[in-house]
Amino acid sequence: MSLSCFDLGERMLSVAEARAATAELVTAPLPAEWLPLEALHGRVLAEAQVSPIDVPQNTNAAMDGIALAWPQAGAPASWPLVGEVLAGQRREAALAAGECVRITTGAPLPPGADTVIMREQLDEQGGCVQVRHPQSVRRGQNVRKAGEDIARGATALAAGTRLGAAELGLLASLGMAGARVHRRPRVALFSTGDEVTAPGEALPAAGIFDANRFSLRGLVTEQGGEVVDLGILPDDQGAIVAALSDAASRADLVITSGGVSVGEADRVRAALQEVGELGFWKIAMRPGRPLACGRLGERATPFFGLPGNPVAAMVTCLQFVAPLLARLQGRTEPLPRRLTALAETSLASRAGRVDFLRGVLASDAEGRLWVRSTGRQGSGILSSMVAADCLIEIDPERAEVAAGEPVTVQPLSDDLC
């Protein structure tokens, strides 16, 4: 059965059905472009990166000290010192069995050498080196083998990998000056509602400042998107149709918040139906419903109409929009990321829906991960998102979580920007 956004009607959907249906909105990642290393942070690889070299390039010393050629007959207590190899140098002349050279960390072992002894365990006298505890030396110790980190021809990073600090360092260590990555999704963002007022303006008597455009901008940016901020939609159907059509022609994804609940002055809903093919959903989750979803305009641009309540807007963005942004960029790992933690106290929930509580994680001395609620959980209480470092996800099967029971959590990481 295909779960299309548009033929689900207005029945109550499970979170799983909503996830499956929204996933259909993106069938392929955005095109790739080549970018230099400096511009790759947060981007997603469009192709696997195969190492052109062995890393490390040479078998080398892991310590400052001596490199020696271990004789067949066993190690002597004193080694003739026949030279020196510093980092950046290479000695082509082979060591004869029983000889050693002074060596610094990272310097290539000369031919014949197979073992390194650290400087602190040595004494030098008359062109020979004495080892203080020869019985503790093992043949092959303190040597990093060529290619032991990454062999030439091996896949260093898979396609779909998001490039953070470690990945950038790795690409650089392979000598790559850049890579092909997927284009960042352009995300058009609107707020809706007559009461919604831009920060910086005077707050009307019945007004509310526009929180969503900025919390959603933050989430979209963290997920690798590029925001096109289209402001607050006027309460005028013609203007909404024009703005949405224009956004759909320019953006890879369009997001609005507010104005999609049943029984509202339904201009947004009516306008949306004029511009696209949409479903209006009630999802069995809290906070979260209602949600509109579908495609807009000739380019069939994916669209999300998120709830107006600030916490609901963020939670639905994290559950449904973030995975699509990941797909648009070719990311392969499953999102959202989940862990299991033990509930510090009992957590209220209701069977038949997924409850997303705002939570705070802590580990104890035994290494167990605990989670507690941030307190009041109203879907307008944005300070609960500020206090939280995770969402607690309580399955529809559970009517309550007792203290000490395991529960699923989704960490709210400061993702890459």
Binding-site size, Mg ion (CB under 5 A): 4
Kindly tell me which of 203 and 362 has the beta carbon lying closer to ligand AMP. 203
Work out the widest C-alpha separation in the chain, in whole angstroms: 95
Q: What angle do CA 292, 294, 297 make, to 5 degrees?
A: 125
Residue pair 307/290 in contact by the 8 Å Cβ criterion: yes
Measured CA to CA, the distance from residue 88 to residue 104 in angstroms comes to 10
Q: Which residues 179-208 are close enough to bind ligand AMP by CB under 6 A?
A: 191, 193, 195-196, 208
Q: Which stretch binds ligand AMP (CB under 6 A): 58-66, 71-79, 116-124, 255-263?
A: 255-263
By beta-carbon proximity to ligand AMP, the closer residue of 1 and 202 is 202
Q: Is 258 in the site for ligand AMP (CB under 6 A)?
A: yes
CA angle 29, 35, 40 (to 5 degrees): 80
Q: Looking at 185, 224, 259, 310, which residue binds Mg ion (CB under 5 A)? A: 259
Name which of residues 185 to 214 contact Mg ion (CB under 5 A).
193
235 binds ligand AMP (CB under 6 A): no
Q: Which of 251, 391, 389, 244 is nearest to 317 (CA)?
A: 391
Question: Nearest distance from residue 312's CB to ligand AMP, in Å?
Answer: 8
Work out which of 257, 349, 373, 377 binds ligand AMP, going by CB under 6 A: 257
Binding partner at 301 among ligand AMP, Mg ion, none, C-beta below 5 to 8 Å by kind = none
**175-196 core/surface letters (b: 16 or more CB in 10 A; e: else):** ebeebebbbbbbbbbbbbbbeb
Q: Is 307 in the site for ligand AMP (CB under 6 A)?
A: yes
Out of Mg ion, ligand AMP, none, which partner does residue 330 contact, by CB within 5 to 8 A per kind? none
Element at 2 (helix H, strand E): none
- Is residue 294 close enough to count as binding Mg ion by CB under 5 A? no
Contacts of 126 by beta carbon, 8 Å cutoff, 6+ apart: none
Q: Which chain residues interact with ligand AMP by CB under 6 A? A: 191, 193, 195-196, 208, 210-213, 257-259, 261, 264, 307-310
